[in-house]
Amino acid sequence: MARMTPEARRESIVAATLAVMHRQGIAATTVRDVAAALGTSSGLIHHYVTSMDELITEAFELAATEDLERAASAVSGGTDPIDHLRRFFDSYTRADDDSGMQLWLDAWAEAARRPALQRASRRLNEAWQGLVCTIITDGCSSGVMRCADPQAASWRLISLLDGLTLQTVAHGDTVSAEQAARWSRRAAEQELGLEPGILDGIEPGARPSGRVR
């Protein structure tokens, strides 16, 4: 249809691919589906992308990087390490839509057969771990958290959150997402020597009720 500059076209292709992947899952995303969503012919796509594998990997990286940046910017808004961690949980838990989590689950499973996707998934996973590790290290050096091995602790935390993702997506109604989120907060508080409930967003003794006019 309308002519576009190569960079803009490429971006629109990756974005459309991501939309289809959210709707249909990674394995069921075809070139023709993307073309239909984009309103163009299917031949166009292969002029911007050498293979379907490359396209899928790129789209996943786009989504994953967006997720990560959203979390990172949410964290950076905090005032101290505990607030950082609280914001991290908020941004992670605020999944208005299960399709984002389903995409991660798809990517994890699909990674075994797509080396490029595996590399991307691993890199992003380490970035998430690094984000949490920074928070914990800060918390330890400023004395508000207690943790012998921040790297191991952040690994455990990410692992727990992955388990939560999985249970929420794969066995949906067995347990509510809110309940699961609460449990993961309790585990983090216990892990880091924090007082229970402090990550729920309600600072004990500083609640905005009563005195507030």
Partner DNA sequence: GGAGTTATTGGACAGATGCGCAATAGCGAT
Partner DNA sequence: ATCGCTATTGCGCATCTGTCCAATAACTCC
* Residue 206 binding its own copies, by CB under 8 A: no
Closest CA to 105 of 174, 25, 184: 25
Q: Which stretch binds its own copies (CB under 8 A): 14-22, 78-86, 103-111, 199-207?
A: 103-111
Letters for 139-178 (x = contact with its own copies by CB under 8 A, - = none) are: -------------x--xx-xxxxxxx-xx-xxx--xx---
Q: Where are the alpha helices (DSSP H) in the chain?
A: 6-24, 31-38, 42-45, 52-76, 81-93, 98-110, 115-141, 150-170, 177-191
Whose tokens are 């500059």? That residue is: 5
Q: Among residue numbers 44 through 83, which ones bind its own copies (CB under 8 A)?
A: none
Tokens of 150: 């921040």
Q: Are 190 and 147 in contact (CB under 8 A)?
A: no
Interatomic CA distance for residues 107 and 57, integer angstroms:
9
Interatomic CA distance for residues 69 and 64, integer angstroms:
9
Q: Residue count at the site for its own copies (CB under 8 A)?
A: 38
Q: Among residue numbers 49 through 78, which ones bind DNA (CB under 7 A)?
A: 50-53
* Residue 44 binding DNA, by CB under 7 A: yes
* Residue 7 binding DNA, by CB under 7 A: no
Q: Among residue numbers 105 through 134, which ones bind its own copies (CB under 8 A)?
A: 105-106, 108-113, 118, 121-122, 125-126
Tokens of 61: 């990286």
- Which of its own copies, DNA, none has residue 68 at its interface (CB below 5 to 8 Å by kind)? none
> Which of residues 47 and 207 has its CB atom nearest to DNA in the complex?
47
Structure letter (DSSP) for residue 51:
-
Interatomic CA distance for residues 7 and 13, integer angstroms:
10
Residues that bind its own copies (CB under 8 A): 25, 27-28, 102, 105-106, 108-113, 118, 121-122, 125-126, 152, 155-156, 158-164, 166-167, 169-171, 174-175, 180, 183, 187, 190
Residues that bind DNA (CB under 7 A): 1-6, 9, 28-33, 39-47, 50-53
